[in-house]
Amino acid sequence: MRNGNTMTYKEIRANEEVNALLDKGNKNLGLLGFTDHSKAHCTHVAETAGHILKKFNYDAHDIELAKIAGYMHDIGNAVNRTHHAEYGSLLANEILRGSDLSVQDRITIVSAIANHDESTGGAVDAISAALIIADKTDVRRSRVRQKPKAAFDIHDRVNYAVTDQTLKINAEKRVISLNLQLDTGICSMYEYFEIFLGRMLMCRGAAELLDATFKLTANGAKVL
């Protein structure tokens, strides 16, 4: 190991290499027509992942690891969207190898990043579970890039149709609830679930690992 520097969430957010990877990945995805995967998204995921674990009384150490993993989770998009979770985990391992994080903590972060995509992954511990829920529930109009509405694809329409989103954590009842308000004039319920059912089922599995239940309501109706 090289002489290490402290690698906290605050340090990661200021890390030149991490931010360059996020910027390049988001630019690449923009050209491919994907929604926003910028530093704003990654900050939201990091803060939400930390909030979830804090509500369930995890210690400050685990919360910090979840926030670091959350901020770094999409760096693999700079390499390729396909298998971006796995690419991201390898990049994160190299970046974090130069820090004073313990090997165990580094591997926990790397594993969480590697397992956050619904096509290949799933929750393997509390850190990855919090990351998955934070990432997959970040559905909002502001993630749609500036373009004519006529050019919207189904992912754009689904995100643009979300007029309100709240993620509530009931620690006592151990329930994680995603409540959405959808403008069905923009996107039908069918279209929403065509895109998001796999992600919501992934959230349910992640919640179970946290000994909690995941619930989804759309326009006031319980869906999951």
Helices 16-31, 39-55: axis angle to 10 degrees equals: 110
**132 close to 116: Cβ distance less than 8 angstroms:** yes
Rounded distance between C-alpha atoms, residue 140 and residue 59, angstroms: 30
Does residue 1 form part of some domain? no
Mean pLDDT for 18-28 is: 98
| Cross-strand bridge partners of residue 218 | 180, 221
Identify the pLDDT of residue 7.
86
- The rounded distance, in Å, linking the Cα atoms of 33 and 26 is 10
Q: What is the CATH number of the domain that holds 144?
A: 1.10.3210.10
Looking at the domain assignment, is residue 214 inside a domain? yes
Number of domains in the chain: 1
Q: What would the DSSP string read from start to end of 49-63?
A: HHHHHHHTT--HHHH
Range of the domain at 41: 9-222
4 located within any domain: no
> Is 159 inside a domain boundary?
yes
**Residues 155, 34: contact at Cβ < 8 Å?**
yes
Q: Rounded to an integer, what distance in angstroms lies between the CA atom of residue 183 and that of residue 192?
A: 11
Domain for residue 195, yes or no? Answer: yes
DSSP three-state, residue 208: helix
53 occurs within a structural domain: yes
Q: For 109-140, what is each residue's pLDDT tens digit? A: 999 999 999 999 999 999 999 999 999 999 98
Taking the C-alpha atoms of 58, 53, 127 and 22 in order, what is their torsion angle to the nearest 10 degrees?
A: -140
Residue 2 lies in a domain: no
Q: Look at the pTM and tell me if it is higher than 0.85.
A: yes
pLDDT of residue 60 exceeding 50, the answer is yes
> Mean pLDDT across the chain, nearest whole number?
94
